[in-house]
Structure formats: structure tokens, C-alpha cells
Amino acid sequence: MTDISRLRRDSRVVHAGQHGDPRTGAVSVPIVQSSTFRFQNADQGADRFAGRDSGPIYTRIGNPTIQALEEAVALLEGGCGAMAAATGMAAVNTVYFGLLSQGDHIVCTEALYGPSRTVLETQYSRFGVESTFVDSTDPENVRKAMRPNTRLVYLETPANPTLALTDLKACTEIAHAGGALVCVDNTFATPLLQRPLEFGCDLVLHSMTKYINGHTDVVAGIVVAKEEALYKRLLGVHRNLGGTMDPHQAWLVHRGLRTLHLRVERAQSNAMEIARYLEAHPKVDWVRFPGLESHPQHALAQRQMDGPGAVMSFGVTGGLEAGKTVIDNVQLMTLAVSLGGIETLIEHPASMTHAGISKAEKAAAGISDDLVRLAVGCEDVDDLKDDLARVLDMI
């Protein structure tokens, strides 16, 4: 069989983790829908529990269908191993729970996915974990936030929903100098457009609900580790917390993954055209999209990413009420949270995905009331522009 790791990007996406079924000749990875697995004898069972035999034991601990997906994403991210999770937040909590103890400190990107921040402030704080949220677009802010007890620097770039970028190499050097590990939420970029482990980061995670699955029909998450020791450290935590994946869920996500390059390229192309359209529109006050020269970190995007992605934020003249008019009256676009599906979604983060964050914290993170987030899909771009033109004419 061809060494998948030696193939070019698009071929890796199609073939990663796809071993088929040698018994039947099935081309697609089979769904091994079994909770438990029979041992040939007591010695084999003992060997599997001791780690001397890599065969399956119990689906919470490992399953061939799930392992095929984990192998594929680890390969695309350049990691040594991956842990597929039931949801994106299950992946986030595997990292938090596995690396943070009472008295520890975490430094995070300020404009962070709402629940990733909220769970630190409302749950982990109960057990003595301290959190500091900074504008990580300036690495000096990360440096200033570091403490002797900082164990983890958790970055999200591009950030949700501000599309702010963080210099991964610079922040990783700062974190490592302070004895902390670095985890990056790479959901917006996908491994096609950004691979944090190549910049020295220790962990990367995804809400696979978004681009990796890509069809708005499954929730899932994954954590990828760069080094074997860290992978093993988190693997036991992940299995024992119980936020592991179901084999049918894994099969659906893996099926979606195989068209990731096609979907991302089309959505990104659409997004670039729409961003330029919005930026030129007289009723749009501002647009944040890494592909635009007006983005304050456009140069970093070109250096760190292989493309700007397909999510943008913008504000319309008239503020919140005008923005509500836009999102309430689109017809082709769908008013819904999430992103990364083949359809275009539009939402209002301040009152929806980030509603649990205080007004002051939202303001500090740049999540203004007039911010509208647009996750561009794979429709005909002219139809999308027609939909925007119609609603913008209403304000």
C-alpha cells in the first residue's frame, strides 16, 4: 500500500485512515458497531489490557472505526496520535481536565469560543484553576500574563467570532520558556489551512462538528498530540471521563473528512468574493476577514496560513438593529449557530454563541453588538451576494 504520509495534501485527505476491509474487500472503512470485543483466550485478554496487544477491548477504550478517523486527522495535523470525542467541548475538557490541577493557571485567547471560556470561569474555577484571558494578537500580552503556575496556554486562531489572529510561533516560544504547554483550537482553519504543530505547539483540537464533518449532521471533537508522552497522558483521562465517540458517529465524520479539500476550497473562494463585496458596500461599516488587505494581521495570515478560511464578521450601518434586520430577513442563508457545513450560516454572537460572557468581557474581546458572523458555504456565490444585496437594501 502507498505510504499515505508521502502523498500530496488532497490525496492525503481522500485516503488517510482508509484501510477498507480485507475480509470482504469493502473500500470504505466498516462501521464496527459493537460495544465489546471477544478475546481468543485469557492470555490475549490480559495482553490487551496490559497494552502488549493493540487489539480492541471495549468501544469506550477503542474501536476500529473510531481509530481510523483518529489516524486520519492525526496524519493531516502532523501529530503522533489523536483522541476522537463525542463533542467539541468533550475534546476541550479532555485538555483542560488532563493538564490543569488545583492551583494551576491557564492563559487563553480573549476572543474564545464561548463555552470554552465559560467552563473555565464557572466550573474549573470551583476547583482552584485560575484563568487569564488576553488579547493574544500581541504576543507580549501572553508574556505578561504568564505566572510561575501557568501550565497551559490555550489559543484560538482565527478567533471566534472576531477573526483575530495569533502568532503561533511567537506565543509557543513564550509558553515553553515559562514551562507551559500550548493547545490551539484549529476549528476555523482546519488542517488544510493551518497546522499548529508545525509551529511548535503541543496540542491541536477541533470541533469536528464544523469543517471536518462538513454536513451539519454530526457533533464531534478531536484532540491531536505532537508527542507520544503527552498523547498517552491525555488518553487515559479521555477514556475515563467518558466523552468518547460512537463508531457510527466516527464513520459519518470520516466520510465527511474525505471531501474536506473540495468543500474548503469552494467555501473559501466564495468567502473571498463576499468579503470584498461587503467591504465595498456603502451600508457596511467594517469587515474582518483574514483574506482582506484591510485585516490588521493580513501579513500574519499569509505567513501562517495556507488560506484565509470561509468565516468572516462584519458590522452594518445602524448597529444592532440594522444587523438584526439583516439576519432576520436572509432567505438563502440560514440563521443558525455553528459553521463549516456546505450551507451558509449567519448569526449574532453577542446574543447567541457568546451570550454567557459578560458585557464587559465581550467588549474587551471585541465582540460588539453590531458584529454579525457569516460562515460562508458552498452555494453559488452570486446567489449569496443577491441575498445580501436584498437585505442590505432594507436598512
Q: Checking DSSP bridges between strand 181-185 and strand 150-156, what pairing results, if any?
A: parallel
- Residue 370 is among the residues annotated as catalytic for this protein: no
- How far apart, in whole angstroms, are the C-alpha atoms of residue 88 and residue 81? 17
**C-alpha cell at position 384:** 449569496
With CA atoms as reference, report the closest residue to 320 among 312, 328, 311.
328
Selected catalytic residue, list 47, 60, 143, 258: 60
| DSSP labels, 96-117 | HHHH--TT-EEEEESS--HHHH
- The residue assigned the cell 505567513 is 303
**Contact present, 74 and 221 (Cβ < 8 Å):** no
For residues 197 and 204, the answer to whether their CB atoms sit within 8 Å is yes
- Identify whether 226 is a catalytic site residue: no
Residue 221, number of CB atoms within 10 A of its CB: 27
Catalytic residue, chosen from 12, 96, 113, 324, is 113
Catalytic site includes residue 210: yes
Q: Which residues of 124-138 are buried (b: 16+ CB within 10 A; e: fewer)?
A: beeeebbbbbbbbbe
Q: Which of 135, 185, 370, 387 is catalytic?
A: 185
Closest by CA to 298, choosing from 163, 191, 124, 189, is 163
Residues 210, 263, 288, 373: which is the catalytic one? 210
How far CA 208 is from CA of 250, 276, 341, in Å, comes to: 10, 28, 11
Instruction: Based on the residue annotation, tell me whether 124 is a catalytic residue of this protein.
Output: no
What are the cell numbers at 319? 448597529
Tell me, what DSSP letter sits at residue 372? E
- Report whether 134 contacts 110 (CB < 8 A): yes
Return the active site residues.
60, 113, 185, 210
